[in-house]
Structure 1
Amino acid sequence: MAFETSADDTCAAVVTSDMKILSNVVIKQTEIHAQFGGIQPTNAVLAHQRNAPVAAKRALVEAGLTIKDIDGIAFTKGPGMGVCLGVGSQTAKAIAAIHDIPVVGVHHMQGHALTALLTSQPNPPQFPFLALLVSGGHNMLVLVKAADEFEIVANTLDTTVGRVLDKLTRELGLGYTGQQLEQFYTTCKATPVVPEDFGPFGQPMLKRAWSFSAHHSHMERYMHKRQANGQPDLTDGERLGLIDRLMQAVGEHLTRPFRDVLMDLVARNIKVNDLVVGGGVASNLYLRRRIEQAARDRTAGQPGMRVHYPPPALCTDNAVMIAVASMHRFLKGDFDDLSCAPNTKWSIEDCKLTRVP
């Protein structure tokens, strides 16, 4: 059984040791935070406190089990919002203490990186593989050497793709999440039109890193200039045109480090055949296509990699990924103490096992 409460979704799931999903409960808080234009921590933690017992009960009922059938409980230890992480941590540890069940704290992005071990069966990615992890809080390319061994080979220098998309969603008056932006982008029937006064994006020339702050600043300055000049509101067609230009720019920049990273791996005699794309932004269909094309190109003298995408419901925050990422530790008997506390600034490179029986 697993819990995930690192941000604004209250999640619980039950997964078997042979990677079968018995239940997957996600209780969202979108309506609560819409009025604030983003996650409001006080309201988020209160909602988690209301929802966590409900999610736990539903997960067991939908799995057709009772707590006596549970052999281990995993929870997101970090990174994330401390007050939110605390609800999932305390829920998991309280249940574990009462019923004498072992617990394991899991790194949130480790969960995203390893989800494909379940969803890509019967041909899962083989270690070592690359994981492109893109979300509101993270933007990194990671060499996954084992279930508990990670090396960051490219990282953002400032903000993330997810945050840029979230902010553009607010600027365009479409909500506050990138998912709402994509929903508009994929369902609006208007013809895309790029406003004549909108200039092209500049692309930072980085080899093994990203910088997305320029993309956000470019859009923000344009929107503020329109407002200052008293220009009329954007039409739906103009909104679509701006979104399309941004998607093209961030898609190009997101895939730019691939070649340099692969060349470095070849020089180190490390061969990778698989790329996993995880995190909330991995559910964006346009970026999926752009990433897949870049990964399958023959780069650095190697054949293109197999690309693995979890289903959209398992790209955004969920407890199934936390269960998957904890499984190797439960099977090895490497458990955490009940005093284990959340870690809001935990690096994925620090996930290595600390105690093996």
Structure 2
Amino acid sequence: MLCATGRYCVSFSTRNSFTSGVPPTFRKLSRSYKVLAIETSCDDTCVAILDRKSREEAPQVLTHLKDTLDSGRDGGIIPTRAHLHHQQKIGPLVQKALTTTNSLGEIDLVCVTRGPGMPGSLSGGLDFAKGLAVAWNKPLIGVHHMLGHLLVPRMQHNGAKPQFPFASLLVSGGHTLVVLSKSLSEHEVLCDTMDIAIGDSLDKCAREIGIQGIMIAKCMETFIDDNLEDARSGAFPMVLPSPLRNQNGRINLQKFSFAPFLTAVRQNLQKDIHLYTDRERRSMAYQIQESLFDHLVTKLKLVIRIRPEIFQHVRQLVCSGGVGANKRLQQKLETDLVNHFDEIYYPEPSLCTDNAVMIGWAGIELHELLGLTTNLDTSPIKKWPIDELLQPPGWIQLCK
């Protein structure tokens, strides 16, 4: 029924039992429920099932499946190919997840990435999720992709830590952000990239020096680690930039810039990349990775210095996103930021890259803490600033 605020007012019930007469998008879930989560913002088709057995313990991940588009031959992700990939893979992955966990008929909540991301990719997951929500008569939650990244370290602690407010360094192929999370719904972007993301820059620079594979930046990290002595040998010295310095050499602009590294790498190469030895290429790879990470850390320290009123009280940092799984980056953060943060949280490697588990957990937090679900007439959001989390239409809030 409607309460005084004009919203549907519902209460907790037993598992798979809801207040009668309330549309599924308004239904408050019980203390025990299962979540089907879908992530298709880029080139990974991801499906997970989480079992929320109680509010007192972290949810159990019953399954976590991923199928990544092989775009190595294309020199990058082609949106139409990514869209087709999701169309082909999402059905079989969901079917496999349901059958292997005996969850058919037991899903209580459907969570899916609504944005930001590539519209064609997002629609593959969102349309499928809406269809399941209709067929099963279950509520849907459209999740912000970056919210999933910054919240996922909280899952293993059942939301207890990191505690709000905390800062996040979100580093992936599509985003490079420093975010202050004051609460689940209040986020402030403290630093963004003015051109391309760090993951995109790492991929493109790695491709220039002959690295190949699906996750090119990860392949470059492995290439470096295979022989650190050669990597640090200086066999091929490179001149690489330190972007956004003023005339006095001081860094004072609260922005990242990663595009200049690609230009510099190309300028350093004097002949066809295949004519260089592995030792020389490994030396290049090491210098590229170090330079990009140095820029990242330097800018983060600048933000801390410029906003002391924030970082006097914010002593927890989350580093998430695909690049956040890089061990060398983690090492630099631990060393260079030891005086600024008491704790730095990293998701386990499989949860740093795009995954459906983070979408499921973010959906759980949005539903349990804010009482949110999503209307079935929502559409993908290509660009969705995280500091505008609740502004797009389509949110439905339950009475508390």
Asked if Structure 1 and Structure 2 have the same fold, meaning a TM-score greater than 0.5 normalized by the shorter chain, the answer is yes
Distance 1:120 1:75, change over 3 A: same
The residue that corresponds to 2:397 in the other structure is 356
Equivalent AA in structure 2 for residue 248 of structure 1: E
For residues 308 and 197 of structure 2, the distance between their equivalents in structure 1, rounded to whole angstroms, comes to: 27
The residue that corresponds to 1:61 in the other structure is 99
The residue that corresponds to 1:37 in the other structure is 75
Equivalent AA in structure 1 for residue 140 of structure 2: V
The residue that corresponds to 1:294 in the other structure is 336
* The 10-residue stretch of structure 1 (318-327 or 206-215) with the greater mean CA deviation from structure 2: 206-215
CA offsets per residue over residues 87-131 of structure 1, 9 Å max, x none?
000110001111101101111111101010013569621110001
Percent of aligned pairs sharing the same letter:
31
Does residue 1:222 correspond to 2:268, yes or no?
Answer: yes
Distance 1:221 1:308, change over 3 A: same
Name the SS for the 2:146 alignment partner: helix
Ranges of 4+ aligned residues in structure 1 off by more than 4 Å: 120-123
Equivalent AA in structure 2 for residue 226 of structure 1: K
Equivalent AA in structure 2 for residue 143 of structure 1: L
For residues 197 and 215 of structure 1, the distance between their equivalents in structure 2, rounded to whole angstroms, comes to: 15
1:191: how far off?
2.1
How much is the aligned-residue C-alpha RMSD, in angstroms? 2.2
The residue that corresponds to 1:6 in the other structure is 41
Residue correspondence of structure 1 range 183-262 to structure 2 within 5 A? 183-188=222-227, 191-192=230-231, 193-196=233-236, 198-205=238-245, 206-207=251-252, 208-223=254-269, 225-227=270-272, 233-262=275-304
For residues 271 and 384 of structure 2, the distance between their equivalents in structure 1, rounded to whole angstroms, comes to: 41
Kept in 2: contact 1:78–1:342 (CA 8 A)? yes
Equivalent AA in structure 2 for residue 351 of structure 1: L
Name the SS for the 2:397 alignment partner: coil
Kept in 1: contact 2:318–2:346 (CA 8 A)? yes
The residue that corresponds to 1:104 in the other structure is 141
1:13: how far off?
0.5
Equivalent AA in structure 1 for residue 241 of structure 2: F
CA offsets per residue over residues 228-261 of structure 1, 9 Å max, x none?
xxx8612111111111111221121111133343
* The 10-residue stretch of structure 1 (283-292 or 104-113) with the greater mean CA deviation from structure 2: 283-292
Distance 1:334 1:123, change over 3 A: closer
1:348: how far off?
0.8
TM-score normalised per structure 2:
0.81
Name the SS for the 2:191 alignment partner: strand
Residue correspondence of structure 1 range 142-153 to structure 2 within 5 A? 142-153=179-190
Residue correspondence of structure 1 range 58-207 to structure 2 within 5 A? 58-66=96-104, 68-119=105-156, 124-175=161-212, 177-188=216-227, 191-192=230-231, 193-196=233-236, 198-205=238-245, 206-207=251-252
For residues 284 and 140 of structure 2, the distance between their equivalents in structure 1, rounded to whole angstroms, comes to: 47
For residues 324 and 181 of structure 1, the distance between their equivalents in structure 2, rounded to whole angstroms, comes to: 31
The residue that corresponds to 2:89 in the other structure is 51
For residues 190 and 282 of structure 2, the distance between their equivalents in structure 1, rounded to whole angstroms, comes to: 34
The residue that corresponds to 2:4 in the other structure is none
Equivalent AA in structure 2 for residue 187 of structure 1: D
* The 10-residue stretch of structure 1 (260-269 or 87-96) with the greater mean CA deviation from structure 2: 260-269
1:305: how far off?
2.7
For residues 337 and 239 of structure 2, the distance between their equivalents in structure 1, rounded to whole angstroms, comes to: 29
Kept in 1: contact 2:112–2:359 (CA 8 A)? yes
Pairs aligned (count): 345
For residues 265 and 189 of structure 1, the distance between their equivalents in structure 2, rounded to whole angstroms, comes to: 37
Provide structure 2 residue ranges, at least 5 long, that are not aligned to the other structure: 1-35, 53-57, 246-250
CA offsets per residue over residues 130-182 of structure 1, 9 Å max, x none?
01000111000000112222110111111221011100221122215212212
Name the SS for the 2:379 alignment partner: coil
Distance 1:55 1:48, change over 3 A: same
Kept in 1: contact 2:237–2:284 (CA 8 A)? no
Name the SS for the 1:310 alignment partner: coil
For residues 121 and 273 of structure 1, the distance between their equivalents in structure 2, rounded to whole angstroms, comes to: 20
Equivalent AA in structure 1 for residue 218 of structure 2: Q
Kept in 2: contact 1:136–1:280 (CA 8 A)? yes
Distance 1:119 1:186, change over 3 A: farther
Equivalent AA in structure 1 for residue 106 of structure 2: D
1:36: how far off?
0.5
Distance 1:258 1:305, change over 3 A: farther
